[in-house]
Chain A
């Protein structure tokens, strides 16, 4: 384990550690020593969320990496928020975080506490919209020492429709139909554009040139979304070394949160 802190990074920005994290000691001319270390690590992995008419699905792989090492094959990136006790009984909001796992954990703990306190103080569950805005504030509060994570929040809105919010590390957020985050986001996102929002798809023979009608995006049924999520992750695992081992999915419906785990390739 000590080697993690003493071994030099393979290259700046190249393969190896995603951040220069080795503690360094700089000795200046007058003999004073300055110790420093980089406080972030990239733990790899990817997450993905898609919302439907009456459900939201969040998914994430369970591999945790640092550089070329695999720390663990089962570190969840999906967390239930709110509900009763440590098991989050009755919860209906899910947070997914990818990036620096320690920050992800800390963020989840804070949001969970906030949502639980809300229930104790107001005697009712926090809406996803409120929770989403609160998460944005939590992230922005650390604007100058950010939580190094790309967060996605999922639940059901007040009309019972699927709700999905995605965030940057400093709290800029947006409600969306679908979003991929993390190491393989650049691989998954264009696939989702095509298969969820039907981007670049047209209705055949519906017009010539600019009159050609684009295929309208519709809310997808649950089993279709589940298949898409699997396909997206199977593809990502094939081409990204930081993604793999297991796929954790949480499906939020009016009946609560269903959790499904299925294996991914471990190579």
Chain B
């Protein structure tokens, strides 16, 4: 979710096999320097893809001697997923970050084969995506400050996952500003 000179990215903590909850502490957001990647979908691919990008981004950093920008990361994710066009990773990733050259917030989402969805407002993904579309579209407004953005993204996520039987069990919320990243853990309903 985009705010004024800030972006937010949030995820729930449930890991389950259909109706059976296996873990209630399985974060789906991974940090790659200045860029944050959220991954929903098949748990094994969430881990595989997260590890794959950790490797790729580390290699990028060593070669280029600088951090990867969100835009570059987006193209890296896109091309890496499309490489598996006919045997895809079953994930739908979301990227959030601030570009430190332009100073502008950046978010985008992907389908499982790497088609990029550039959005100016918000990106949703996962089993509660319908619900998230509803809450985000209803609660979001342009140019929110970091504190208001935190409240908005948290309310959007919590209320959406409460209407989805396959999501929930608390949340992680990252508020990314130019010179500061705040990570908060939300309690949420435990059912």
Contact = CB atoms under 8 A, between A and B. Distances in A.
Interface in A162-193: 184, 186-191, 193
Given A200-B158, A200-B159, A190 B137 contact: no
Given A231-B138, A232-B138, A235-B137, A186 B155 contact: no
Contacts of A236: 134, 137
Query: Which secondary structure dominates chain A's binding surface?
Result: helix
The interface centre, meaning the residue of A199, A200, A201 with most chain B CB atoms within 10 A of its CB, is A200
A189 B130 CA distance: 10
Interface string B118-155: 00000000000011011101110000000000000011
Interface residues of B, number: 16
Interface in A183-230: 184, 186-191, 193-195, 199-201
B158 A191 contact: no
A130 to B, nearest CB: 31
B138 A193 contact: no
Contacts of A190: 131, 134-135, 159-160, 162-163
A186 B131 CA distance: 5
Contacts of A239: 133-134, 137
Nearest to A240: B133
Contacts of B163: 186, 189-190, 193
B12 to A, nearest CB: 13
A238 interface: yes
Nearest to A235: B137
A187 B159 contact: no
A200 B134 CA distance: 16
A5 B74 CA distance: 44
A231 B188 CA distance: 25
Nearest to B157: A200
B162 A186 contact: no
A194 B139 contact: yes
Given A184-B134, A186-B134, A239-B134, A191 B139 contact: yes
B142 to A, nearest CB: 14
A190 B155 CA distance: 10
Contacts of B159: 190-191, 193-194, 199-200
B155 A200 contact: yes
Name the 5 nearest CB pairs between A and B, nearest first: A187-B134, A235-B137, A186-B130, A191-B138, A194-B159
Interface of A: 184, 186-191, 193-195, 199-201, 231-232, 235-236, 238-239
Given A186-B131, A186-B134, 19 more contacts: A186-B130, A186-B163, A187-B131, A187-B133, A187-B137, A190-B162, A190-B163, A191-B139, A191-B159, A193-B159, A194-B135, A194-B155, A194-B159, A195-B138, A199-B162, A200-B158, A200-B162, A232-B138, A239-B134
